[in-house]
Structure 1
Amino acid sequence: MEIVLIRHTTPNIKKGICYGQSDIDVADSFIDEAEKILKKTTDLEYDILYSSPLKRCKKLAQKINSSIITDDRLKELNFGDWELKSWNDIYKEDLNNWMDNFVEIPTKNGESYIDLHKRSTDFINEISKLPYKRVIVVTHAGVIRSFWSYIHNIPLKNSFELKVNYGEILTVTI
């Protein structure tokens, strides 16, 4: 099975703000960004389209096809109490502790990267049992990195070496 991973377009939020699972909208550049993605996916044959239920993913998925299935396992990392705060306003000791071991340490009232990885790999393992040849998944950078590390057997702590720009399309085979 081939999985076409598409990261959402630019979100409508100021740089430097933590926004994991906050349901923020897309930026004014959405139409232009979406058109570039559509040019690459219009002729792509696929069996099913999945999306994170967050607006920034769902809006793009609906441009690809109005028939989508949303799945909470495709949401970005839940940053808990850090959501919608400036990274500069997060207590430095908490931030440094998390940065030293973001894979296993959850944010306060949030989740760790391993939590995100467990739910995203659960999604992959579930769909891999289905009779699809190609699946499109519109999701977030954290989930894409998690998929990438799982499929390519890369340690989670190294998954951030994969740069995933807004609107980027990556393909993996399972």
Structure 2
Amino acid sequence: MSTLWLARHARPLIDSGICYGRLNVAADAALTAAAAQDLVKALAANTAKNFSSPTACTVVLRHSPLQRCEQLAHALIEQQSRLVFHPHADTRLQEMDFGAWEGVAWHDISRAHVDAWAADLPHYAPGGSESLASMLQRVQAALQHSWLVDSQQGTRDVVWATHAGVIRCVQWLLQHGNALPSSAAWTLPAPGFGQWLALPWAAAAPRLSHLNP
């Protein structure tokens, strides 16, 4: 069964408690290499179990152009395995843009601004930049493209090297379609640093057909 692998970058080299969204910070190199090694093992096991043709060795690899995800993409390619990765940098896989909040400690951001965001989660643009509704639109476009082009409608595995926010958006789209979330409903889990979700394309495909273009 072909699969969409949603892989989160390894731990970034930035102090905890900082809002870093689109900041182009690096990830821990050793943890990135370990994450890539584990993911390649899982990918190889999946393709060996589900495919017998040579095309099973081809994996489309989309990654956020931010450094911490590029590191993971490069580490995957460098692994010695039977898999052949076809990498593509994709701006749609970037984390939310927090605008003026970026690089600021969360506890230093005005409580009134955080409350305003919670009151209108889909449409409020934190830091004056990107709203969740806008982010969902770009992730939806990337998801539909990956289904039709990258996976060739579910016949190839696809890896996204991306961010927690993007992975939450994919889960929301597949569970709720074009509905917009409230703060109370936005409770979707994300993998830990260097971890991933594996979503069978067969389960995602029917839900993708119900998303508005």
Same fold, TM exceeding 0.5?
yes
CA distance in 2, matches of 1:152, 1:89: 34
- Alignment partner of 2:67 out of 40, 55, 59: 55
CA contact (8 A) 1:57 1:139 kept: yes
Structure with higher Rg: it is 2
- Offset of 1:43 from its aligned partner? 4.6
Aligned to 1:147: 170
Q: Which amino acid aligns with 2:16?
A: K
Correspondence 1:155-174 to 2 at 5 A: 156-157=181-182, 158-172=185-199, 173=201, 174=205
- Offset of 1:110 from its aligned partner? 1.2
Structure 1 runs (4+) greater than 6 angstroms displaced: none
Unaligned runs of 5+ in 1: none
> Which structure has the highest helix share of the two?
2
CA distance in 2, matches of 1:136, 1:34: 11
TM-score w.r.t. length of structure 2? 0.74
Single out whichever of 106-115 and 75-84 deviates more from structure 2. Answer: 106-115
Aligned length in residues: 174
CA distance in 2, matches of 1:103, 1:165: 24
- Offset of 1:91 from its aligned partner? 1.4
CA 1:159 to 1:95, structure 2 compared with 1: closer, same or farther past 3 Å?
closer
- Alignment partner of 1:81 out of 95, 100, 106: 100
CA contact (8 A) 2:171 2:188 kept: no
Query: 1:121-152 CA distances to partner (integer Å, 9 max, x unpaired)?
Result: 01111222222522111100110010111112
CA 1:15 to 1:115, structure 2 compared with 1: closer, same or farther past 3 Å?
same
RMSD of aligned Cα (Å): 2.1
Determine if the alignment matches structure 1 residue 25 to structure 2 residue 36: no
SS in 1 for 2:112: helix
Q: Which amino acid aligns with 1:5?
A: L
Unaligned runs of 5+ in 2: 48-57, 79-85, 206-213
Query: 1:68-103 CA distances to partner (integer Å, 9 max, x unpaired)?
Result: 101000000000000010001111111111123222
CA distance in 2, matches of 1:62, 1:85: 29
Query: 1:11-65 CA distances to partner (integer Å, 9 max, x unpaired)?
Result: 1111100000111111355244443334333555453110000111110111112
Correspondence 1:56-135 to 2 at 5 A: 56-65=68-77, 67-130=86-149, 131=152, 132-135=155-158
CA distance in 2, matches of 1:41, 1:60: 15
TM-score w.r.t. length of structure 1? 0.89
